A and B are shown apart, each in its own frame.
Chain A
Amino acid sequence: MQWTQWPTLCEDKDKDKDKDKDKDKDKDRNKDRPQALNWITLAMDEQHGRARAVTEPSSELSPEARLMALREALCRMAGQPGGFQTNALRRRAWPHLVDNTATFIRHFDGDFEARVIEHPETLQVKLDVDRSLIHYPPNLSPVKLAKLRQHLETVINAVLSIHPELHYFQGYHDIATLFLLVMNKRQGFVLLEHLSLTKFRDFMGPSLEGATTMLRLIFPLIKQVDLELYAFLIRSEVEPVFSLSCVLTWFSHVVDEQAVIERLFDLFLASHALMPVYLVTAIILFRRDEVLSGDCEFSAVYGLLSKVPPSLPYDLVLIPHALELSARVQPNELIELAGQAMFAQRAPTTAALIAAQFPHKPSRSTTQPWRVGLYAVSLSVLAAAMLAANSWIRQQL
């Protein structure tokens, strides 16, 4: 297989559109793929003089396989220091990290704003939106703030109106806020809808059990790598609920710096659904000495770990460690350690996503054709698993 540097083939015709993001409505989703590929290449050339090269598989590959390979390259990039670095690149990269071709997800393709209706959480959404966008971005004019809040409310209400089986949780609006700060309204909706049906789905069931079940993976993971810390945590009788807001909101509720959250979203979008659990664990391991030198008692440990210190070394230490942990104790292995049956029952969508490894985890080696094939196979496995998960969810309603 020949690997070549990806040539820049076309002009970025849509450059001006970015400035007027709200106007490019329905086009992005179904934009033909090869052109989309070139967008990304161009963005990288512009933004990174030092060019993080994205290589392209030979053009013998079908457009689908090329897209797969692009995804893989993006996933690798998301794990490297700084992730996608700029929002211009994020706007191009993030849509490729969700799989719009998956037929098991019933995406809404029309005019989503027209679909907003009253729903049981309308008031709660309003209250939360009114308290949003306070810590970032800086120097937001009142006009811009009002507009962003209005978009935020629309996008959230659209997802909840179109998918009445999804339940709103406080913190969901923190996630949506970040999508809207990076993407335009349309793309923000597409991403939020997609993730609500996949990686956030278990947070949006009738109860919070999907999320608390995920938290129960943290201690078993620590046990695999740091027995002393594990023993201390168990002795203290602390419960992993202290990590709820990190996992539930992909850190957007606990980190105050917009740039850091964006960078973490690069990682989470490019990874399997349990990456937030691995990152939380990496942070606990990073703070082990602090934990071990404190009181071995529920509230002391809870008080310490429920607060995420500012300016942690995410790029240099924590993300590499989280990636390493997730390679050492892989998600399906971790689920097995923590009790497979229990997990699949309480977090069915996540279990299905993990079983199918979607999106494929960032790998360090270059893409091999068999991986692409494997990925295609895994998608059909995922489709089946998702159907099972969906019917499970319907039963619970």
Chain B
Amino acid sequence: MASYNYSYIFKYIIIGDMGVGKSCLLHQFTEKKFLPDCPHTIGVEFGTRIIEVNGQKIKLQIWDTAGQERFRAVTRSYYRGAAGALMVYDVTRRSTYNHLSSWLTDARNLTNPNTTIFLIGNKSDLESQRDVTYEEAKKFADDNGLTFLEASAKTGANVEESFIETAKTIFQNIQNGSLDLNAAESGVQQKTQPAPAVDLGDKPAANSGCGC
């Protein structure tokens, strides 16, 4: 049986208009590199990375979706059971910001009520071409109860933070009981015995091998 060196799996989706930098954000997060010539996404792509939150190793399973409307029929089925949704717009293209409410509606309708939705204004390195102010987007985020950061897949600024903050929120929701792990579509899987919420130290091997 497989053994695991992580205690949880969190499922994420990345959504937003085409060209806002979703695939670059994923690549920067999983490979720590900017891929300027990243090919456009057809259908759904997949990436993964193990992170640590509160001493717990968590495997993030990240589904990167195509932006073209035509592919939504395919991508929609991947929203189901996501614990986290990263909703991305491009700070240099207002149209991508204007479409956020439609992406948010999709995300709300197709995920469960406890899904953590995180708003990312990408391409913050292109300050001179900025088309959407921080304040404006922050207000949109606050009005809709979203956490918000501006980031850059190019420089890496706030990329780690966006993915990890989302995981922290999900983890909190598990701990305070608002996210029910037994619910079919929580987007979270536990890979070891219910771990004591307190720290497991830095012995990742110790909590592997359950194979459940």
Contact = CB atoms under 8 A, between A and B. Distances in A.
Given A167-B70, A208-B74, A299-B48, A241 B43 contact: yes
Contacts of A303: 46-48
A295 B18 CA distance: 31
B94 to A, nearest CB: 15
B37 to A, nearest CB: 5
Contacts of A306: 44-46
B212 interface: no
A88 B37 CA distance: 30
Contact of A135 (B2, B18, B19, B37): B37
A134 interface: yes
A253 B70 contact: no
Interface residues of A, number: 27
Contacts of B44: 241, 244, 306
Contacts of A302: 46
A131 B40 contact: yes
Interface string B153-182: 000000000000000000000000000000
B15 interface: no
Interface string B138-165: 0000000000000000000000000000
Contacts of B42: 170-171, 244-245, 248-249, 253
Contacts, number: 61
A244 B19 CA distance: 20
Interface string A224-254: 0000000000000001011011001100010
Contacts of B74: 208, 212, 241, 244
Nearest to A169: B70
Contact of B46 (A124, A134, A299): A299
Interface of B: 2, 11, 18-19, 37, 39-40, 42-48, 61, 66, 68, 70-71, 73-74, 77
Q: Which 4 pairs across A and B sit closest by C-beta, in order of nearness?
A: A245-B42, A244-B43, A303-B46, A134-B37
12 contacts: A127-B19, A131-B37, A134-B37, A135-B39, A167-B70, A170-B68, A244-B42, A245-B42, A253-B42, A299-B61, A303-B48, A306-B45
Given A207-B70, A299-B11, 9 more contacts: A127-B19, A134-B37, A170-B40, A208-B73, A209-B73, A212-B73, A241-B74, A244-B42, A302-B46
